[in-house]
Amino acid sequence: MSEVAEPLNNAPETLNRLATPPEPRQIGGTLVWYYSICRRQAWLTAHAILPDEDDPNIVYGRFLHQWYRNTAAPRKSQREVLIAGNRLDLVVQENGHVVVVEVKKSDRFRDSARLQLAHYLLTLEEHGVRTEGELHFPEQKKRERVRLDDALRREVLQVRRDLQDLVEQPAPPPPKRISWCARCAYAEYCWT
């Protein structure tokens, strides 16, 4: 019988029994983003223990991405490009080159967003495409260019190794109160 993802209100023991670590190839940009904010969130997501899709923060995030893609994104853009298990928000043509765009609600976790985008740039590089990225924060009307230099490349490679070690753990790290908890869709699961 096949295993299915458990709803969040199931006991942790059940959760841990059912959870299976993903294959290395399944580690994508969203996990990199989560990992650099909260390792527990990365573990839960990697094991397909998913939060409530109707959580207000998730709903708003979906709306913002959809609105940005449909109305505010640059004209010469392809929406939601898939590459090697990664879902890129936007790919924009610029002076004969492509630029990968990652859209975020705010720059509050800018370093994590930068790492996520760098992971996409490295993945493209591994497939023979060297390009640059741009973070878009539409609510703040801000943009930031991201270039994959040696230091950032090393950082991404280290995060990928650490992530692989994390998801192979049989249980998630314990919850640790951080500012992200206030908007995290796992908050009820972690703190009630």
**Listed ranges 25-33, 93-101, 119-127, 177-185: which one lies at the site for ligand SF4 (CB under 6 A):** 177-185
Q: If you write DSSP's letter for every residue of 69-131 in order, what string do you get?
A: IIIIS-SSEEEEEEETTEEEEEEEEETTEEEEEEE-S-STTHHHHHHHHHHHHHHHHHTT---
**Listed ranges 121-129, 131-139, 161-169, 172-180: which one lies at the site for ligand SF4 (CB under 6 A):** 172-180
CA distances from 163 to 84, 99, 169, 190 (A): 17, 26, 10, 20
Which residue in 154, 168, 184, 192 binds ligand SF4 (CB under 6 A)?
A: 184
Q: Which residues contact 145 (CB under 8 A, 6 or more apart)?
A: 132, 133, 134
Residue 187 contacts ligand SF4 per CB under 6 A:
yes
Convert residues 1-40 into a mask of x (bound to ligand SF4 by CB under 6 A) and - (unbound): -------------------------------------x-x
Residue 171 contacts ligand SF4 per CB under 6 A:
no
The CB-of-31 to ligand SF4 minimum distance in angstroms stands at 13
Residue 178 contacts ligand SF4 per CB under 6 A:
yes
The CB-of-188 to ligand SF4 minimum distance in angstroms stands at 8
Length of the chain in terms of residues written: 192
Which residue in 41, 45, 86, 116 binds ligand SF4 (CB under 6 A)?
A: 41
Q: If you write DSSP's letter for every residue of 43-77 in order, what string do you get?
A: HHHHTT-PPPTT-HHHHHHHHHHHHIIIIIS-SSE
Q: Say whether 132 sits in a helix, a strand or coil.
A: strand
Residue 122 contacts ligand SF4 per CB under 6 A:
no
Enumerate binding residues for ligand SF4 (CB under 6 A). Answer: 38, 40-41, 175-176, 178, 180-181, 184, 186-187, 190
